[in-house]
Amino acid sequence: MALVADNAPGVVAATSSPIGGGWTVTASGSVVATAPADTYGSMAGVALNKPIVGMAATPDGRGYWLVAADGGIFAFGDAPFWGSTGSLHLNQPVVGMAAAPDGPGYWLVAADGGIFAFGGVPFWGSTGGLRLNQPVVGMAATHGGRGYWLVAADGGVFSFGDAQYHGSAATIRPATRVVGLTATPSSAGYWLLAADGNVLPFGDANDLGSMNPKIKFAAIALVMLLSGYFIVDATGLWNQIGSSTANSRSTGSTGTTMSPTLSAPIPQVAGNVLVNANAGGQQLRLQGVDVSDTETACVKGWGFSSGSLDSSEAAAMSSWHVNAVRIPLNEDCWLGINGVSPSKSGASYHLAIQSFVEALNSKGIDAILDLHFAAPGSTLAQEQWPMPDADHALTFWADVAQTFKSNPSVLFDVYNEPSLGSITPSAADWQCWLSGCTMTYQPTVNCQTCSPVTYATAGTQQMVDTIRQTGAKQPILVAGLGAGSVVCTGSVSPSSACAWSQYEPNDPLHSIVASVHTYSSRWCVSEACWTANYGAVTNTTPLVVTELGEVDCTTSYVDSFTNWAQQHHVSYLYWAWQTPTPGQVGCLAEHALLSDWSGAPSVPLGQAVRDLLVSGSPSG
């Protein structure tokens, strides 16, 4: 989502990062990053044949491309070089580019509307053969990458592929030239930006305001976020419009001027992928870790977690380049019931979790809240039951969702590991998973003489409904059966019948995300099984692996699965952000990603996971 003003002084383009933050670039190729985005390189100090005119981010935010007026491409970070027009004679100079939101490739656009497609992206059409009233100044791709818009300096809009025409400014005659177009996350609308900071909305784009016309201004780009948008000017300042959250000095505009601080992704579901509403609707892959002991320490009475659950721990996580952290919760601790100490439950537990969520968000990290331990009646929640209990789980989710519904950087994970029917659940098992049932379970933790407990379960549909009834709109993660390992089939072979397609909970907001757990020690450990069991779900639904781990003294499993996940646009979080439990030795200790709480990785697993997160690709 790069928008370019081809003759502006200083900064000539800006783009957002899918993990939050973004970059600006000058005509000489100098790049400035806004956290949590990193700088991966620039052309500063290098003699260029033609000035830089645009840039675009890679789908995972771990790299970017710069494009020059002659169509020369300069790739940094994980951005591959797919080709350029640097050696061609062009009828008109290149003025901008757009990257495929979910695949390899990019488009370049010239001032006459000529389009040059590189990598795996299709050519959807151009205005290269038309006589234009004013030159084309920029382009934007649809969120699925199956179309794009071109915009001319007079505000004329040209749509190709699945990009829909929603109107133009050609007949409005804005006071200054139009410099770019930004699509809404749904691709059902767009904003046009004029050089004086005037914003013109079309389709489902909200009119959130423009820059004050009384001040001198040279707009370069409009970068969208959930509660408003930034207008970036030629000096590199990001001017926030339409949001009450800005906290920097006033400019006399309808917003504020700021060098953006850390901004956590705002996940939204768009078809079968997650997109970041805080980064112009670019495709988002969650990459992170699970914390541990937030589900156990409180019931044992010794704390809230093994970690500090504060800004220092969040900063250590941020140094690993995570953009999501899953926090396991305990039903009894949150509700303050069944004899848990008041100092470790209820309001005290709420405060610890809320403070940690705020610390994570301040470092550009999303929080996934997971109901991990639950138990019916007066039984203490201190282990994993096959399904959550109807006695407390719905009350738990009503309160958690109410608490966090105003935070768009929080996601809800309704239950950790539903476990009915082993890895070959029956239709009755799936129906219980969806709608609830009555079942019997024998507790095992601190309960050697306990009798089996018959209890009513809460179904996934009931929990989804409870969350939505609070007004919470965030994506909801739902784990499959087989301890979270089965979402489609309990077979390594492809099946025409995928359980998810039949039993997926209904969500009026269409924001359900499938969740799975996979470990080297469990049943589905081959690429053929991942494709049969998980790949089929990704055709219709976003998929997040909320627990990925290895316990065989190597890193081959996390390497190979991460590679598969990246190829299939699957998000993943590694278990677990913890140090070894005292007395734990050998490969069992490898579940611990840390050697100490400063963020130093364990060896070999922690080191491999940190490398995977930092590089965005498998190690070795």
Q: Please tell me whether residues 19 and 88 are part of one structural domain.
A: yes
Cβ–Cβ < 8 Å for 191, 205? yes
How large is the average pLDDT for residues 554-563? 93
CATH code, domain carrying 555: 3.20.20.80
Q: Please tell me whether residues 450 and 322 are part of one structural domain.
A: yes
How large is the average pLDDT for residues 565-583? 90
Residue 147 within any structural domain of the chain: yes
Residue 223 within any structural domain of the chain: yes
Domain endpoint, select from 241, 258, 275: 258
Q: At what angle do helices 427-435 and 460-469 cross, to 10 degrees?
A: 20
Residue 504 within any structural domain of the chain: yes
pLDDT of residue 184: 85
Alpha-carbon distance of 36 to 213, in angstroms, equals 32
Render pLDDT for 245-265 as a digit per residue (tens, 0 to 9). 332 222 223 333 333 344 789
Would you say residue 588 has pLDDT above 60?
A: no
Q: Which amino acid is at 160?
A: F
Number of C-beta neighbours around residue 341 at 10 A: 16
Domain endpoint, select from 242, 258, 274: 258
Q: Please tell me whether residues 423 and 549 are part of one structural domain.
A: yes
Residue 25 within any structural domain of the chain: yes
CATH code, domain carrying 127: 2.130.10.10
Q: Please tell me whether residues 403 and 347 are part of one structural domain.
A: yes
Name the pairing type of β-strands 105-110 and 94-99. antiparallel
Q: Please tell me whether residues 246 and 297 are part of one structural domain.
A: no
What single DSSP character describes residue 369?
E
Domain count, the chain: 2
Name the pairing type of β-strands 31-34 and 22-26. antiparallel
Q: Please tell me whether residues 228 and 368 are part of one structural domain.
A: no
Residue 97 within any structural domain of the chain: yes
Q: Please tell me whether residues 234 and 291 are part of one structural domain.
A: no
Element (H, E) at 110: strand 105-110
Cβ–Cβ < 8 Å for 162, 181? no
3-state secondary structure of 591: helix
Confidence at 309, pLDDT banded by 50, 70, 90: very high
Q: Please tell me whether residues 223 and 299 are part of one structural domain.
A: no
Alpha-carbon distance of 520 to 539, in angstroms, equals 25
Render pLDDT for 186-238 as a digit per residue (tens, 0 to 9). 888 999 999 988 999 999 888 888 876 655 557 778 887 545 688 888 888 87
Alpha-carbon distance of 259 to 257, in angstroms, equals 7
pLDDT of residue 1: 33
Tokens of residue 226, six digits: 């959930």
Residue 86 within any structural domain of the chain: yes
How large is the average pLDDT for residues 312-324? 94
Confidence at 244, pLDDT banded by 50, 70, 90: very low
pLDDT of residue 141: 95
Sign of CA dihedral 563, 566, 572, 577: positive
Alpha-carbon distance of 435 to 419, in angstroms, equals 15
3-state secondary structure of 80: coil
Q: Please tell me whether residues 246 and 289 are part of one structural domain.
A: no
Q: Please tell me whether residues 578 and 519 are part of one structural domain.
A: yes
Cβ–Cβ < 8 Å for 275, 268? yes
Residue 278 within any structural domain of the chain: no
Q: Please tell me whether residues 221 and 330 are part of one structural domain.
A: no
Please give the residue range of the domain that contains residue 38.
3-258
Render pLDDT for 273-299 as a digit per residue (tens, 0 to 9). 998 887 767 889 999 999 999 999 999
Please state, for a pLDDT cut of 90, what percent of the chain lies above it.
63
Residue 274 within any structural domain of the chain: no
Q: Please tell me whether residues 431 and 556 are part of one structural domain.
A: yes
- Which range is most confident: 88-102, 484-498, 603-617? 88-102
